[in-house]
Structure 1
Amino acid sequence: MIRAVIFDMDGVLVDSEMLYLNLRYQFAKEKNPGVTLEELIPTVGRSSEGSWGIVAKAVHNGMRWQELLAEYKEKVVVTYPSLDFTSIFREEAREVLQKLKEKGIRLALASSNGLAIVEKILADNGIRHYFELVVSGESFYRSKPDPEIYIHTAASLGVGAGECLVVEDSTAGITAAHRAGMQVAALVDDRFGFDRSLADFEVGRLRDILELPAFTGKGSLAR
């Protein structure tokens, strides 16, 4: 029985993956004009080390990934609060959250992003009140695909891992939720080559979550 649904933020509630990819691309091109967007597509949905290791290889200017990330945070991440996250919000999320709430499902959000920007996105789009718990990856030593953030979220809600459904999009996020022993609904996004093989269900849009067997008692979606 599913008692709680835990949502990822980026790529799920907001279609932000391409936004962040383009910001990394512009930053990388300042270091090396020969960098291509295609080289950086594998950075999407990875941990900081995995993502910025790829950036460092593409830039190839002698800077370590840690140095590049530190500079990026100093010059680019600080501009995040000025970004318009309402324009990339998945409007159907509001209906999904409301209907899950009406079913008595407990809702939480577990994002690898920083807490300040997560709270801004939720507030700007008027959906913060739906979530009983909001957890940021900056509170943990290990990033997705490590399951730590999901294990912590379930424990904080007081529910078992088997009572949780996680909505994710990226390979790392899907893997983290699977390793935590939770059911996973993967939101399909074929732009970035994500591996969804560990997901229990695939959904083409957020509204499809409401049609999962856990909430209807009948039928099934593609695995």
Structure 2
Amino acid sequence: MKKAVIFDMDGVLAYTENFYFKRRMNFFDELKIEPTTRKIQDFIGLSSNMIWEMLIPKDEKKRELFKEKYLKYSKEHKINFLEVLNPSTKEVFSKLKEKNIKIAIASSSGKQDILRMVKECELDNYINFMISGEECKKSKPDPEIYIKTVKALDLLSTEVLVVEDSTLGIRSGKSAGLMVGALVPKDYYMDQSEADFQINDLIEVINMISLEKFKG
């Protein structure tokens, strides 16, 4: 049995991707500016810097100006994490804690967003470690965030399972030498071919960690 599960946040613990995508598109619509892409898949798993480099690729000054405006806009249009929390998250966390399996969150989201999600959804008592992409030198698909998390949990790579959804997140976990399960998105397609297995509901994690072939 694995001794820890590391979860990505967006698209795994909380279905935030659609909200963030729509908020971003509304922001551009209000400014009457056409973004470089209107495909949600193009944004999944990217850090904030990567998103803005994609949206405004050639003009750094313009990019920073828009980022500043969007920061204000996002504060005026905050996400309600309770509304987008994966319905299985609390049950999964509770069952993992019962089995004395450590729980960590490793997300490209900003640390304040991670902390707010955890607090608003009352997940504090379940989590052993949290890390944001802001605390790493390199973003996913670089393995840094997962290497740091495994080290903080004081475990071997064979004792850890990662749950991701995005192509970049899956690659990050695999590059760190970890077993990665992919939660299949309900509203859009995501290439998850590099994952070790796929699940359709987060609750499936409970059974997967107990399987003989997944033992550390």
TM-score normalised per structure 1: 0.85
Q: Secondary structure at the match of 1:87?
A: helix
RMSD: 2.5
Q: Which amino acid aligns with 1:215?
A: S
Q: Secondary structure at the match of 1:69?
A: helix
Please tell me whether residue 48 in structure 1 is matched to residue 48 in structure 2: yes
Structure 1, 192-201 or 165-174: larger mean CA deviation = 192-201
In structure 2, C-alpha distance between the alignment counterparts of 1:206 and 1:142, rounded to whole Å: 27
Please tell me whether residue 71 in structure 1 is matched to residue 66 in structure 2: no
- 1:13 maps to which residue? 13
Shift of 1:140: 1.2
Q: Secondary structure at the match of 1:205?
A: coil
Q: What are the Cα deviations for residues 59-97 of structure 1, in whole angstroms up to 9, with x where unaligned?
A: x99964444334322x234346x4311011112111111
Q: Which amino acid aligns with 1:142?
A: K
- 1:169 maps to which residue? 165
Q: Which amino acid aligns with 1:14?
A: A
- 2:174 maps to which residue? 178
- 1:25 maps to which residue? 25
1:65/1:39 CA distance change after superposition, 3 Å: farther
In structure 2, C-alpha distance between the alignment counterparts of 1:40 and 1:210, rounded to whole Å: 29
Residues 111 and 134 in structure 2, CA contact (< 8 A), matched pair in contact too:
yes
Q: Secondary structure at the match of 1:107?
A: strand
Shift of 1:198: 1.1
Please tell me whether residue 83 in structure 1 is matched to residue 79 in structure 2: yes
- 1:133 maps to which residue? 129
Residues 171 and 194 in structure 1, CA contact (< 8 A), matched pair in contact too:
yes
Residues 8 and 111 in structure 1, CA contact (< 8 A), matched pair in contact too:
yes
Q: What are the Cα deviations for residues 38-60 of structure 1, in whole angstroms up to 9, with x where unaligned?
A: 34541222233432233226xx9
Residues 140 and 169 in structure 2, CA contact (< 8 A), matched pair in contact too:
yes
Shift of 1:102: 1.3
Determine what percentage of the aligned residue pairs are the same residue.
35
Q: Which amino acid aligns with 1:76?
A: Y
1:34/1:148 CA distance change after superposition, 3 Å: closer
Q: Aligned to 1:151, which of 141, 147, 150?
A: 147
Q: Aligned to 2:109, which of 113, 116, 129?
A: 113
Residues 170 and 194 in structure 2, CA contact (< 8 A), matched pair in contact too:
yes
In structure 2, C-alpha distance between the alignment counterparts of 1:85 and 1:9, rounded to whole Å: 11
Q: What are the Cα deviations for residues 149-169 of structure 1, in whole angstroms up to 9, with x where unaligned?
A: 110010011112221101111
In structure 2, C-alpha distance between the alignment counterparts of 1:65 and 1:36, rounded to whole Å: 13
Q: Secondary structure at the match of 1:2?
A: coil
Q: What are the Cα deviations for residues 118-164 of structure 1, in whole angstroms up to 9, with x where unaligned?
A: 11111111111100111111111211111111100100111122211
Q: What are the Cα deviations for residues 182-220 of structure 1, in whole angstroms up to 9, with x where unaligned?
A: 0001000154432211111100010111121x314489x
In structure 1, C-alpha distance between the alignment counterparts of 2:52 and 2:43, rounded to whole Å: 7
Task: Give the count of matched residue pairs.
Answer: 214
